[in-house]
Chain A
Amino acid sequence: MLKSLLNGALALTLLGTAASAETFRWASKTDPQTMDPHAVNSAPVLGFLNNVYEGLVRRGKTMAIEGALAERWEAIGGDGWRFFLRKGVTFQDGAAFTAEDVLFSYQRASSEAADTASWFAPVSEVKIVDEFTIDFLTKAPNPIFPDSIANFMIMDKGWAEANSAVLPSKDEGNYATLNANGTGAFKLVERQPGLKTVLEPFENWWGKPEHNITRAEFTPIQNPATAVAALISGDVDMINPVPIQDAERLQQRGGVTVIQGIEARVIMLGMPHKAEMLKYTADAGKPNPFLDVRVRQAVAHAVNVEAILAKTMRGAAAPASQLVSPAMRGYSPSLEARPAYDLAKAKSLLADAGYADGFTFGLKCPNDRYLNDEAVCQAVVSMLAQIGLKAELDAMPVRNYWTELRADNYDMYLLGWSPGTFDAEHPIRFLAATPNKEKKLGSWNFGDFSNGRIDELLPMIQSEIDDGKRQEMLNESAKILQDEVAYVPLYVQPLVWGTGKNIALTQRPDNFLILRWVTVN
């Protein structure tokens, strides 16, 4: 009797572990702010939603473009691109996927309420050819257009209309902020912002699943040490990021695998190019010194990037000289030198600009977005103090951060940028072009940097088909941005993920965790 009871209990336990073994739990510093794929153009949101929604095209394990909701596509001469859609695809609520949904999603994602509008700056018109064929017409020949819309996710028209979520809502939120209905391999079953988000496989997905997950739970863990402890104890199966300082020790201990790579993300300092006055500290209200290029150059010369890399990043990152990393298409190898760390030069530049005694200002910084972001900002504060620029640091969670930057509440800020297209044109369009809502340009150019030549070069770069000529124009832009110190690029951020030994997955250089490549053994 006792024996059979014990056996029963044992069998139950085994069953229990077998069932839960395919639950995949992962944790990251940042909670995706919204479940709306068009409301916020940031990696945590897009990366998470890539599991739920799908685009016309998607990126494979090596970032190569492959078909998703479009089976194939072809250029219509120089006028644009024709996409042939996959047939028999259904949304997670059962509705059929057609060209209507693509047109609707285009209108939604390119509307002024959307954060993704800049993606469609080159598009002049979208035309439905038939139920499963759609044309994206461009203002000029656009060779990289299909590459640039891998994160343009398709939403069901009927679902959005029925739930009055026809337009995305970034700040107030609407039905699509908390609910999702994509065509992707996973569907959203539970969403508690900031606490827990649960996905389950979508049984009618058109593709062939490569994963063996039955349930995936995401938890944001803000404190990196807590995340590491959770990984070691097995409370979570994967964390992103692993604090750089812990990578080496974690690697040495059993039970945990550390996966390292170089992310496509460049970390940089941004400054106001248009604001008339400083906004923070005792000097608030005084004329904005960053309008003077010499002051911006002084900042670039005063930041000791080598020290940040050696200490704060523990040798895991590479210095950056441009808005893109050397691994991106269109990087300018001839301009790879950063401004040298030279305090004397920085001081003399400041003196020339009339700030020999320095000034004080406010530095804004996220504290849960990039690897060691707050520590990097603190280091920048002490480095700038050595040339008399006294920064008051305000570090905040990323959920408040973008709002502050959009409201121009900074004198200097920290920004990381990873080009979604893996091409040097991307940051020029988002960060350097003069902000223009109508043309959907410069949407993340918080400092309102504006340069006539850059604005002139951008459309030419976008439509140039000859690689050599295109590269020349990219080099020219990169040179202007360096000379004008539009930003002070600091370093290329490393990617450090930690997983349990029983987990197999693929680390994509854009820092997206794609659940359909995860296996739990």
Chain B
Amino acid sequence: MTQAPVPQSAITRAWESDFMWSFRHSPVAIVSFVVAATLIFAAIFAPLIAPHTPFEPGTLNLMNGFSKPMEANEFTGETFVLGTDDQGRDVISTILYGMRISLFVGFAAVTFAMVLGVTLGLVAGYAGGWTGTIIMRIADVQLTFPGILVAMLIFGIAKGITPIHLRDQMAIWVLILAIGLSEWVQFARVVRGATLVERNKEYVQAARLNGRRPLGIMLRHILPNVLGPVLVIATISLALAIIAEATLSFLGVGAPPTQPSLGTLIRIGQGFLFSGEWWIILFPSITLLALALSVNLLGDWLRDVLNPKLR
């Protein structure tokens, strides 16, 4: 994941065509792109697509509960394509709305991790010395803990200090904070490495001789040149963040039942595994799998394309 030392304007032109050529010739990339884009599109427009608003409690009818997929309910006669859960919520709608929360948490957490990691990485790489050492040692220490553990720790502390009546509203933001804080290290390490290389290049030295301030050099000169690998990590991190969110919610410390994400839906469905209501867990699981896998494959492909060593 080292950065190609090519002048910027040349990169932009060559990049476009190369990138597109590679995309056109990679069936995996095309399929994952289509799947990911469809799912993201469906999640964004869930209120327009979903047959019901599953989390408006007043619209639910408990008698619709446990309807089998594509079969009329024995009490109400209504039919649901993917069936309903124990509360009579339409499974398609819960998935669409759940995916919204999963994706929102994923994107927000990765953005947060990226901003934090890139900033700290740039500072550590450019300033070096004690500042750099301290930042990177903190990163090293954090790397020795599994990310999910860090996230659970942060979640637990946050739950302890937020007032009870705000917990449900805060849960999503705490989740973003927790996952973001557990994933910034990757960004910081890569950016620091790239910055260390860039720092001693002629263009940076020229800028320094011109009298530009360190902040300007970092943002205007170094940052654009380290963004390639950051993009790759961000894509892979997105898949990881979605899975981390699902894991936390599955363990019951993530999204509250009133705003269920895919992980919460899987947790709810798990209770009906032995009783034969398989659709409650199966469809959210497939959706999570498709989402995480397609984003991950896209990230993989992006890494291969952007890695000069593999070209």
Contact = CB atoms under 8 A, between A and B. Distances in A.
Interface of A: 223-225, 228-229, 243, 245-246, 248-250, 279-281, 284, 304, 307-308, 310-312, 362, 374-375, 378-379, 381-386, 388, 390-395, 409
B66 A311 contact: yes
A71 to B, nearest CB: 47
B147 to A, nearest CB: 23
Contact of B276 (A225, A229, A249, A378): A249
Given A311-B63, A392-B168, A379 B87 contact: yes
Given A225-B271, A280-B165, A379-B87, A374 B257 contact: yes
7 contacts: A223-B271, A249-B276, A311-B66, A375-B87, A382-B87, A385-B60, A393-B258
B309 to A, nearest CB: 47
B275 A311 contact: no
A293 B13 CA distance: 75
Contacts of A390: 57-58
A229 B271 CA distance: 11
B257 A393 contact: yes
Dominant secondary structure of chain A at its interface with chain B: helix
B58 A245 contact: no
A392 B88 CA distance: 18
A363 B31 CA distance: 46
A249 B65 CA distance: 19
Chain A CB within 10 Å — which of B87, B168, B275 has the most?
A: B275
B111 interface: no
A379 B75 CA distance: 17
A382 B165 contact: no
Interface string B52-95: 00001110111101100000000100000000001110000000
Contact of A394 (B56, B88, B164): B164
Contacts of B61: 307
Nearest to B272: A245
A390 B56 CA distance: 10
Given A249-B276, A312-B86, A394 B271 contact: no
Given A243-B271, A307-B62, A375-B86, 8 more contacts: A229-B274, A245-B272, A245-B277, A246-B275, A310-B75, A383-B62, A390-B57, A409-B164
Interface in B255-286: 257-258, 270-277
A382 B270 contact: no
Nearest to B275: A245
A288 to B, nearest CB: 16
Given A312-B62, A375-B87, A382 B276 contact: no
A245 B86 CA distance: 10
Given A284-B165, A362-B165, A310 B57 contact: no
A379 B270 contact: no
B62 A382 contact: yes
B275 A381 contact: no
Contacts of A391: 57
Contacts of B165: 279-281, 284, 362, 392
Given A378-B87, A392-B168, A224 B58 contact: no
Contacts of A250: 274
B254 to A, nearest CB: 14
A187 to B, nearest CB: 35
A310 B274 contact: no
Which 6 pairs from chain A and chain B are nearest by CB? Answer: A385-B58, A245-B275, A382-B57, A385-B57, A311-B65, A382-B60
Contacts of B60: 382, 385
B98 to A, nearest CB: 15
B58 A386 contact: yes
A374 B252 CA distance: 13
Contacts of A245: 271-272, 274-275, 277
Nearest to A312: B86
Contact of A311 (B56, B62, B272): B62
A36 B60 CA distance: 44
B23 to A, nearest CB: 43
Given A378-B87, A385-B57, A393-B257, A304 B274 contact: no
Chain A CB count within 10 A is highest, among B57, B164, B167, B168, for B57
Contacts of A381: 57
A311 to B, nearest CB: 4
Contacts of B58: 382, 385-386, 388, 390
Nearest to A364: B164
Nearest to B65: A311
B164 A224 contact: no
B84 to A, nearest CB: 10
A378 B275 contact: no
Interface string B84-125: 001110000000000000000000000000000000000000
Contacts of B75: 310
Contacts of B164: 394, 409
B308 to A, nearest CB: 49
A248 B277 CA distance: 13
A435 B276 CA distance: 47
A379 B85 CA distance: 12
Nearest to A253: B274
B274 A249 contact: yes
B38 to A, nearest CB: 30
A183 B56 CA distance: 55
A298 B66 CA distance: 28
B168 A394 contact: yes
A281 B164 CA distance: 11
B273 to A, nearest CB: 6
Contacts of B57: 378, 381-382, 384-385, 390-391
Contacts of A409: 164
Contacts of A280: 165
A240 to B, nearest CB: 16
A75 B164 CA distance: 51
Given A311-B86, A390-B57, A379 B62 contact: yes
A277 to B, nearest CB: 13
A225 B274 CA distance: 7
A211 to B, nearest CB: 30
B270 A225 contact: yes
Nearest to B167: A394
Nearest to A311: B65
Nearest to B87: A378
Contacts of A379: 62, 87
Contacts of B277: 245
A384 B58 CA distance: 7
A228 B88 CA distance: 24
Contacts of A392: 165, 168, 258
A423 B164 CA distance: 37
Contact of A224 (B87, B88, B258, B271): B271
A310 B74 CA distance: 12
B211 to A, nearest CB: 56
A362 B62 CA distance: 21
Contact of A249 (B167, B270, B271, B275): B275
Contacts of B63: 307, 310-311
B223 to A, nearest CB: 43
